[in-house]
Amino acid sequence: MDFIRQFGVVLVIAVLSGARADKLQIDPLIYEEQLLWVSGGAGLVNTYRIPLLTFTTRGSLLAFSEARKTSSFDIGAKFIALRRSTDRGATWSPTSFIVDDGSLVDGLNLGSVVVDEETGAVIVIYSLCFHRYHCKPSITMMVQSLDDGFTWSAPRNLNPQLGLMSFLAGPGFGIQKRHPPAVGRLVVCGHGSLAGDGVFCILSDDHGNTWRYGGELKSIPYNQPKNDLDFEPDECQPVELDDGSIVINVRNQNHYHCRCRIVVRSLDGGESLPVEELVFDHTLEDSAVAAGALEKEGVLYFTNPANANSRVNLTLRWSLNRGKSWVKDTLKIWAGPSGYSCITSLKGNETVDHKYIYVIYEKGQKDYFESISLVKIDLYSDQ
């Protein structure tokens, strides 16, 4: 490497990692797109849904989804499908099924993936019998990989620790606290069953060995049938900000107050979700769907189908002030039918790790669940 190139690379890294990112113009561009799964009934799977995405501590990129065996419905038997990339998403392993629920009537549902940076473990939390449809109780399950996603443990039932409440993590990723309070804690947030809906977080202070319930934001009226416009916080994505708070972006199931996102903040490492810290983000129009969020180098990113009435228009937004407001520019990822999404990026040392984020999302021509697609987005396409 000659001096000029080397100097240039060092300079870019210094600017990107040292200064707050708002000094650089974010100008995102779709760099490449690949379909990871296509529904349509070939083979053992009818429909792929609920995409999750994470990097491992060794820099591999893991994509997960629900492989629904016989229909597109939320209930029914499923696999957890996994594809793995060791070259930052350029090429992918074939699909492997890391969990098979057999022929359950109310089978598995994803779920959250959380990576423990200290042990390297990749942990997937999912549920069985979440809807309690011809079965009970609902069971919160965990499976983990200690070898970068190659092999997976036998599934473990967490109900002896958590009790019998219906809980469905995510969908999205869980976090490991990097800033005080509670550094090292794993925080996985999700929602309750329909009547007992609300946002609940489960916490582990021992790398996923034991779990307990932390903060909760219950629906109103709790554990009772809902009317339209009742308060029903549902699927959610937590992110940790650099001040150590956890911001949870939440699906507003019954359009309470607005057709937009609920945002709630925990100041104590996920132990509580106080109503005083709850806001409705009117800029984030939403039809009640799971959305993606990510914090990277001082910038908060958000993806959803940006439409108040239907699942179309998958859009990336970004905020330079921790979500208080959103930059006016947006990146349209897909104008057509689009559903759930999840964002990740690598916290690595190389220039490319500062430059790219990855969004996995449900994408279709006619229906949003026709395929699951991955886009690699260049954040600084101008530089």
The set of residues, in sequence order, having a beta carbon less than 8 Å from that of 46 and lying 6+ positions away, is: 39, 68, 69, 70, 71, 72
Concatenated DSSP letters for 240-282? E-TTS-EEEEEEETT-SSSSEEEEEEESSTTS---GGGEEEEE
The one segment of 10-18, 87-95, 99-107, 305-313 that binds ligand NAG by CB under 6 A:
305-313
- Is 147 one of the catalytic residues? no
335: which DSSP letter?
A: E
By CB under 6 A, name the one of 153, 193, 245, 330 that touches ligand NAG: 330
Per CB under 6 A, 315 contacts ligand NAG: yes
The one segment of 47-55, 98-106, 192-200, 308-316 that binds ligand NAG by CB under 6 A:
308-316
- Give the residue with the Cβ less far from ligand NAG, 78 or 311: 311
- Is 340 one of the catalytic residues? yes
- Is 216 one of the catalytic residues? no
- Give the residue with the Cβ less far from ligand NAG, 330 or 381: 330
Which of 48, 340, 356, 361 is catalytic? The answer is 340
Which of 22, 33, 74, 100 is catalytic? The answer is 74
- Give the residue with the Cβ less far from ligand NAG, 93 or 307: 307
- Cα separation of 184 and 194, whole Å? 32
- Give the residue with the Cβ less far from ligand NAG, 138 or 338: 338
CB hemisphere CA count around 176 (13 angstroms): 19
Question: Cα–Cα–Cα angle for 156, 162, 163, nearest 5°?
Answer: 105
- Give the residue with the Cβ less far from ligand NAG, 80 or 306: 306
Per CB under 6 A, 86 contacts ligand NAG: no
By CB under 6 A, name the one of 275, 349, 365, 366 that touches ligand NAG: 349
Q: Say if residues 206 and 161 touch (Cβ distance below 8 Å).
A: no
By CB under 6 A, name the one of 163, 348, 352, 382 that touches ligand NAG: 348
How many residues bind ligand NAG (CB under 6 A)? The answer is 8
Nearest distance in Å: CB 333, ligand NAG: 10
For residue 111, say if its preceding peptide bond is cis, omega within 30 degrees of 0: yes
312: which DSSP letter?
A: E
23: which DSSP letter?
A: G
Q: Say if residues 278 and 217 touch (Cβ distance below 8 Å).
A: yes
By CB under 6 A, name the one of 45, 113, 299, 306 that touches ligand NAG: 306
- Cα separation of 200 and 62, whole Å? 25
Q: Say if residues 361 and 333 touch (Cβ distance below 8 Å).
A: yes
Which of 106, 234, 286, 362 is catalytic? The answer is 362
- Give the residue with the Cβ less far from ligand NAG, 161 or 307: 307
Give the active site residues.
74, 340, 362
Q: Which residues bind ligand NAG (CB under 6 A)?
A: 306-307, 312-313, 315, 330, 348-349
